[in-house]
Amino acid sequence: MQTPEKSKRGRPRDANARKNILAAAAALLDEGGIGAVTMEAIAARAGVGKPTIYREWPNAQAVAMTAFLETAEPAPQGPRARSPLEALRRQLRKVAGVFATRAGRNTAMMIAAAQNDSELAKVFRNHFILKSREEGRTLLAAAIAARELRKDIDVETALDLIYAPLYFRLLIGHGPLDAAFTDGLLELALKGLAARRSA
Amino acid sequence: MQTPEKSKRGRPRDANARKNILAAAAALLDEGGIGAVTMEAIAARAGVGKPTIYREWPNAQAVAMTAFLETAEPAPQGPRARSPLEALRRQLRKVAGVFATRAGRNTAMMIAAAQNDSELAKVFRNHFILKSREEGRTLLAAAIAARELRKDIDVETALDLIYAPLYFRLLIGHGPLDAAFTDGLLELALKGLAARRSA
Amino acid sequence: MQTPEKSKRGRPRDANARKNILAAAAALLDEGGIGAVTMEAIAARAGVGKPTIYREWPNAQAVAMTAFLETAEPAPQGPRARSPLEALRRQLRKVAGVFATRAGRNTAMMIAAAQNDSELAKVFRNHFILKSREEGRTLLAAAIAARELRKDIDVETALDLIYAPLYFRLLIGHGPLDAAFTDGLLELALKGLAARRSA
Amino acid sequence: MQTPEKSKRGRPRDANARKNILAAAAALLDEGGIGAVTMEAIAARAGVGKPTIYREWPNAQAVAMTAFLETAEPAPQGPRARSPLEALRRQLRKVAGVFATRAGRNTAMMIAAAQNDSELAKVFRNHFILKSREEGRTLLAAAIAARELRKDIDVETALDLIYAPLYFRLLIGHGPLDAAFTDGLLELALKGLAARRSA
DNA sequence: ATCTAAGCGAGACGGTACGTCACGTCTTGGG
DNA sequence: CCCAAGACGTGACGTACCGTCTCGCTTAGAT
């Protein structure tokens, strides 16, 4: 939280320990899910004392969250798209692709973990969701600028409209989460559900 | 799930015990969240032995899930709407209203619990999500029949488009979940994001 | 306890059940020691309901005790000995031999079980110890009559003097329990420890 | 048992906890017998967590055994006897006296407990029986040196001859366990059972 | 160069909940 | 009216982690 006074006396934190802890937590998360990420297991695996972990994190899920966030590398940019809308389509496909991997399961587990810990929820929102929405917001803005999207839309609502279904399928698993879905979803969102009155 | 063989021998299950267990679980869930729903606490509160609980459920979260599902009473039907679209708008408002209550928190917690237990996930999907979607599907079909919606839409995708944002906000909490949101959301979904080319 | 009036109504006791119960208890005792003789296990193995067992015995150890007592068949008489003392020597050897088998372990376990249940202790004393002592008493009486033993000895004390060491070694296991031991023991008991003053 | 490697790392065992655990076990043993010595009860009474007990003992009876052994204080030495034989007589009376108290019941229960746990049996034998026999061995040696006992006797057998009857009566309860018994027992053991042939 | 405060690993501490086992009782339908 | 089957409330089992607390040992800035 704060590091203002920099007491500076005594042995400094061991940067290596932090790295080992997060690596252990990430490995445990991948191997056995959030339930396998226990303080005991992290400490044992990282070759670290439990107090060393508690010095920096309040509980095991917080370590898992940090490990998750530091592992979730920014997606590599694909080839330039020929239009903003095309870029948006590709972005949705990419997200669906990630959600289909272990990273997707981890994301779901982090959302789950956040339900029981408001501090965790805040961290997840600020470091994962907001970042992801920022990307989407940029894409939408570009599409609006290119007159591919209506300029009067509420961007926040539009973001939910487009991205929420991906998270929903990730979390509920009631339907496939593939390119066919994201393409259909985007098309529907673009055209709208309403019947054309004129005609 | 199934009761095919009807062994019928021996003392039958005590229906009262089951009721007490679910009541206890529901109370604990409301009071302290999913973390408070432990087998020990349920057993103590219900005046029931732990083995009695284990006879019917494999773990505490499964009890919580059953309690949640049996508690989630079917929403009372509001006054007749003047049109299918109006009915859909009201339905979305109602869901948002429920999500703003403790029932919403419980729903979020059940979704979270389901992330770590595929059996639980299946139960939740079949008994809560599918039911809820069925309602939505009916509303959409009526609106299509009334020519208020395009008749070529993929209903499953449309359902995700409309309902997922509510779940998303419930779970992430990155924005309000009120009538203004649902109304805007519905409007956007109806009109679509795309700029009108002709004009 | 009582069967005087012969009510005769309803289904009569199943004599086969009792036999099965005792056989099951004996088998469990032999296989896993007294700890394996549980009501559940007996009932399951005997194909009998627990209440049927409780109707006749107050707890599992009581069943084990009955099974033990009914299993402990009277030792087959060996060839006639040429003297009462010789018969006594053979008898001690035989007891030591039995104590070295599973029956010995069972005996030890019954003595142990009796320590925590005075009713059990009484049954064991009356049906096992007293019977065994009666045999010994007969042998001693014969030896006295044959003037091989002093006629002024207190028989009860003499019985303890001769037999107790066998039980002691059975229970404590601090030394061998073989013919060499019983022979030496008997010789020592006969001659006495005291130094001969005259001489 | 052994403390060879002296790992020395980490927080050392809490001597106070150990003391409390043994005190609680001893109290429970006295109050309700071996059956009352449960891990739960010990932990609750000692104000200690169960794992702390399991760190040092494998089960409740092992705790009871340790408590028993540490409670069984060395008997206070009585006034000097005028002869080794007299000392032996007094020692037997003293043992009988102890056996008549709660300590005697506890001893019986420990012997019982040892029947179902060979590790427990070994501990009991090494720390209780062997110690007690050492005392007896010393007394016999002195009596032999004083020419009150024959010098050709096998001491181990003689010890069993003298002491086993006390344990036998303690465990079976078929007869009194008082000074009259021990005196008669000793006299019989000294003089022997055999009729004098000469004279 | 020494002091000394803080971090380090290890691991024991008092706890809570776990999921299982057996207890002894009760309640079914069937013989 | 007894039988088998089996559910009931109870309570102890032994285990896994929790989050805290000593330990003895670095480590490195301040003296």
Nucleotide of closest approach to C11 (CA, C1'): F2
pLDDT of the residue at D63: 97
Q: Which residue in C130, C161, C192 is closest to D165 by CB distance?
A: C161
* A24/F22 CA-to-C1' distance in Å: 26
Do the beta carbons of residue D96 and residue D177 sit within 8 Å? yes
Please list, residue by residue across C79-107, b when 16 or more beta carbons sit within 10 angstroms of its beta carbon and e when fewer do: eeeeebbebbbbbbbbbbbbbeeebbbbb
Q: Give the pLDDT mean for D37-57.
A: 96
Q: Which residues are CB-neighbours of C7 under 8 A, at least 6 positions away? A: none
CA distance A195 to B25: 46
Say yes or no for a CB contact (<8 Å) between A194 and B150.
Answer: yes
Distance from CA of C33 to the nearest CA of D (A): 7
| Cα of D157 vs its chain's centroid, Å | 18
Cβ of residue C12 lies below 7 Å from strand E? no
Please name the member of B153, B165, B196 whose beta carbon is closest to the beta carbon of A188.
Answer: B153
Collapse the DSSP code of B83 into the 3-class scheme (helix H, G, I; strand E, B; otherwise coil) and give the result. coil
Selection from D105, D95, D100 nearest residue D30 by Cα: D105
Which residues in chain D are contacts of C111 at CB distance < 8 A?
A: 112, 115, 171-172
* pTM tops 0.85: yes
Pick the residue from chain B with its C-alpha nearest to A150: B195
Nucleotide with minimal C1' distance from the CA of C58 is: E24
The torsion defined by the Cα of D36, D40, D45 and D48, in degrees rounded to 10, comes to 150
Chains contacting A with at least 3 CB pairs below 8 Å? B
Rounded distance between C-alpha atoms, residue C8 and residue C6, angstroms: 5
C12: confidence class by pLDDT, cuts 50, 70, 90 = low
Q: Which nucleotides of strand F come closer than 7 angstroms to any CB of the protein?
A: 1-24, 26-30
What average pLDDT score do residues A66-86 get?
A: 83
Residues 14-53 of A with CB under 7 A from strand F: 38-41, 49-51
Token pair for C5: 């009036």
User: In this structure, which amino acid lies at residue C37?
Assistant: V
What is the reported pLDDT for C72?
79
- Say if residue A171's pLDDT is above 80: yes
Give SS3 for B27.
Answer: helix
- From chain C, the residues in CB contact with D149 under 8 A are 193-195
Each residue of D53-73: pLDDT tens digit? 999 999 999 999 999 999 877
Q: What angle do CA A44, A46, A51 make, to 5 degrees?
A: 70
Using an 8 Å CB-CB cutoff, list chain A residues near B181.
157
Return the amino acid letter for D175: G
Q: Residue C142: which pLDDT band, with cuts at 50, 70 and 90?
A: very high
Q: What is the pLDDT of residue C9?
A: 52
D36 contact to strand F (CB, 7 A limit)? no
pLDDT at A119 over 70: yes
The reported pLDDT for the residue numbered C7 is 44
Nucleotide of closest approach to A49 (CA, C1'): E9
